[in-house]
Amino acid sequence: MSRILLIEDEIVIRAELRRLLSRHGHAVVEAGSIAEAEAGHDLSAFDLVLADVRLPGAPGTELVGRCGSAPVVLMTSYATVKAAVEAVKRGAADYLSKPFDHDELVALVEHHLASARSARGALPEVAPHVPSSAAPPQSVPPPQSVPPPQSVPPPQSVPPAPDDDELEGMVGGSAAMREVFAQVRKVAPSEATLLVVGEGGTGKETLSRAVHRLSPRRQQPFVLVQCAAIPDAQIEGELFGYEAGAAAGALTARAGLCEAAEGGTLLLDEIGELPMKVQARLLRFLQTGEVRRVGSTRARRADVRLIAATHRDLGAMVREGSFRSDLYFRLRVLEIRLPPLRERPGDAVRIAESLLKRRTRMGQAPLALSAEARAAIAAAAWPGNVRELENAVHRAVVLAGGSAIERAHLGLDDPPRPSPSAPPAPQREATPPSDSLEGYFRRFVLEHQDELTETEIARRLGISRKALWERRQRLGIPRPRS
Ligand SMILES: Nc1ncnc2c1ncn2[C@@H]1O[C@H](COP(=O)(O)OP(=O)(O)OP(=O)(O)O)[C@@H](O)[C@H]1O
């Protein structure tokens, strides 16, 4: 059992995180601020410290250097990513961008606990951690003319090993995924811009992280920007930074996320959501390797590898005029297409089993799938892809209560939840058992929506209003009628 100090001022979120970490066998000590934590505890007496960046009093980034050998993991919203990245450069172990999910948080915590244990000389329990010392930054390739679009060359020159059914957290033994793995290995060492395309939940972000981890930039920051979650009016400043006075409210100059990713990799998720004006600025950045803050005439060199991801058909968007063709061609210098889960025979069961094995590695009692459950997983269409499968397995683990997972636990016969495009359900849904951070999102919104404005709820959750709206749609949580 590890001792974890959790510093989060939002009580609902803190309680949910405490439950989550306790369920995974950790002893959790809570505080609402650094001052409160320091008043009651010796900060260096913990095995890991998990803290929000935005806290009353001092920000979570100030924990760096004050927690002895305990890794400090920061939780950040898009507005504070830069501060978190800076903190990682100064010695924080890692940061997690909100919204994150259950698995991501637990995996990250276990990873850093294991690293700290092995650094102290104990036997590591999971794969060793990549050390965080700085590698020399890669140089920016000189500006070039637009290269012709090319998809990743066929993988013959880097054949996957015959038993290679996992790569950097991505599980897949189907021919389609083995080809994707070979492509990932091939593109990772390159400096070229990469476009990752696939339906929602197919693993675009996971693949992008794998590319970063396998690249020479692995010890530099990986910065994820959810383009859909940032209001149009702010995205230009968030990405490229701004000078003081460049816009209403811009009282001081601020670096953008492109600069925060210096030396590392910048993932622009849902690139199809970028407004035209920002597309133009991004194109200039790709052409010149330079960033110009909004309101500034000075360009700064930026050594950043760009990965763009989307579930949309950018080619069709180009044809209908909502996406710039020159940017499209520049983005897809290299392109990897992730197939939907239904086109990866055998992988749904492999992924489900790997999730169960991961629990066991983390000290939970072993759980197996019954023959019917396996058959049902193999036969299901999984329109929400790996994310939907993960949710089904997490829910099944809770419902199975320690026995084998049966078909009924998977909830495959439940009525489908509203799709993102469907109108909101007229009634509030009953709150399902929470086995994921989506659970706390749902409860938080339902508990607070009568007394808080949408802006306030979004702020407290660390997401944009737009992201709040989208999640309400996705999870079927309609706004109350006023
Ligand atoms: N091949 C895989 N093996 C195991 N887990 C996977 C795999 N691909 C994705 N996942 C898991 O599925 C979840 C969704 O993956 P991810 O967020 O990368 O998908 P995405 O395509 O970026 O989703 P979205 O389109 O909604 O942004 C994550 O928890 C991730 O860890």
The segment with the largest mean pLDDT, out of 35-44, 208-217, 439-448, is 208-217
The single residue listed with the structure tokens 């929000």 is: 52
The number of the ligand 1 atom at minimal distance from the alpha carbon of 198 is 21
C-alpha atoms less than 13 angstroms from C-alpha of 284 in its C-beta half-sphere: 14
Q: What is the pLDDT of residue 41?
A: 87
Pocket lining: 202 vs ligand 1, CB cutoff 6 Å: yes
Mean pLDDT value of segment 383-407: 90
Question: Is the whole-model pTM more than 0.95?
Answer: no
Residue in this structure with the two tokens 């996992």, named with its chain if needed: 166
**pLDDT band, residue 227 (cuts 50/70/90):** confident
Give how far Cα 27 sits from Cα of 17, 202, 352, Å.
Answer: 12, 34, 27
For the chain, percent of residues with pLDDT exceeding 90: 41
Quote the pLDDT of residue 78: 64
User: Between residues 64 and 84, which one has the greater pLDDT?
Assistant: 64
Residue 112: in which H helix or E strand, if any?
A: helix 102-119
- Nearest Cα to Cα of residue 293 among 228, 261, 226, 246: 246
For ligand 1, atom 1, which residue shows the shortest CA distance? 170
351 lines ligand 1 (CB under 6 A): yes
In the three-class reduction of DSSP (H, G, I as helix; E, B as strand; rest coil), residue 148 is classed as coil
pLDDT of 129 above 60: no
Torsion of CA 226, 358, 70, 33, to 10 degrees: 50
Checking if the pLDDT of 148 tops 50, the result is no
Torsion of the alpha carbons at 262, 267, 273 and 274, rounded to the nearest 10: 20
Q: What is the pLDDT of residue 274?
A: 93
Which strands make up the sheet holding 265-269, listed edge to edge? 222-226, 265-269, 305-310, 194-197, 334-337
Ligand 1 mean position to 205 CA, how many Å?
A: 6
Per-residue pLDDT at 2 exceeds 70: yes
Q: Closest ligand 1 atom, CA of 202? A: 21
Q: Whose CA is nearest to atom 29 of ligand 1?
A: 387
- Ligand 1 centroid to Cα of residue 387, in Å, is 6
Q: Which residue has the higher pLDDT, 104 or 56?
A: 56
| Top mutation candidate among 206, 273, 419, 475 for ligand 1, by most atoms within 8 Å of CB | 206
Ligand 1 atom index nearest CA of 103: 29
* Ligand 1 atom with the shortest distance to the CA of 354: 4
Q: How far is CA 449 from CA 11, 93, 261, 455, in A?
A: 16, 35, 35, 11
Are 24 and 1 in contact, with CB atoms under 8 Å apart?
Answer: no
Indicate if ligand 1 lies below 6 Å from the C-beta of 103.
yes
Residue 322 burial (10 A CB sphere; 0-12, 13-18, 19+):
middle
Q: Contact at 8 Å (CB) between 385 and 199? A: yes
Lowest-confidence region among 4-18, 60-74, 233-247, 398-412: 233-247
* 258/267 Cα distance (integer angstroms): 10
pLDDT at site 174: 96
Record the tokens describing residue 416, joined without a space: 């489908």
- Identical fold, 3-119 and 348-410: no
What region, left, alpha or beta, does residue 467 occupy, with left being phi > 0 and alpha being psi -120 to 50 degrees? alpha
CA of 10 to the centre of ligand 1 (A): 27
State how far Cα 418 lies from the chain centre: 23
Return the CATH number of 155-339, one of 3.40.50.2020, 3.40.50.300, 1.10.357.10, 3.50.50.60. Answer: 3.40.50.300
Q: Say yes or no to pLDDT of 298 above 80.
A: yes
Q: Which ligand 1 atom sits closest to the C-alpha of 101?
A: 29
Which tens digit of pLDDT belongs to each residue from 164-221? 789 998 999 999 999 999 999 999 999 999 999 999 889 999 999 999 999 999 988 8
Of residues 244 and 132, which shows the higher confidence score? Answer: 244
Least confident among 78-82, 436-440, 454-458 = 436-440
DSSP secondary-structure letter at 291?
A: E
Is residue 378 within 8 Å of 344, Cβ to Cβ? Answer: no
24 pLDDT tier (thresholds 50, 70, 90): confident
User: What is the ipTM, given to two decimal places?
Assistant: 0.99
Architecture (CATH level 2) of domain 348-410: Orthogonal Bundle (1.10)
Q: Is 474 in the pocket of ligand 1 (CB under 6 A)?
A: no
Give yes or no for residue 203 CB within 6 A of ligand 1: yes
The answer to whether the CB of 311 is under 6 A from ligand 1 is yes
pLDDT recorded at residue 248: 63
* Banded pLDDT at 225 (limits 50, 70, 90): confident
- Helix, coil or strand: residue 158: coil
Please tell me if the CB atom of residue 347 comes closer than 6 angstroms to any atom of ligand 1.
no
| Calpha distance 462→468 (Å, rounded) | 10
The domain limits of the chain are: 3-119, 155-339, 348-410, 416-482
Statement: residue 362 has pLDDT above 80: no
Distance 252 CA to ligand 1 centre (A): 37
* Helix/strand/coil for 170: strand
Is 116 within 8 Å of 125 (Cβ atoms)? Answer: no
Atom of ligand 1 nearest to the CA of 107: 31
Q: Report the run of H or E that residue 49 belongs to, with start and end.
A: strand 48-52
Higher-confidence residue of 306 and 432: namely: 306
DSSP β-bridge partners for residue 97: 76
Gap between the Cα atoms of 364 and 366, Å rounded: 6
CATH code of 3-119, in short, is 3.40.50.2300
Q: What is the CA radius of gyration of the chain?
A: 22
Higher pLDDT, 60 or 365: 60
Range from 197-201, 203-207, 242-246, 381-385 carrying the lowest mean pLDDT = 242-246
For residue 321, the model assigns a pLDDT of 93
- The string of pLDDT tens digits covering residues 340-358 is 999 999 999 999 999 999 8
The dihedral through the CA atoms of 420, 422, 423, 426 has a sign that is: negative
- How many other CB atoms sit within 10 Å of the CB of residue 110? 20
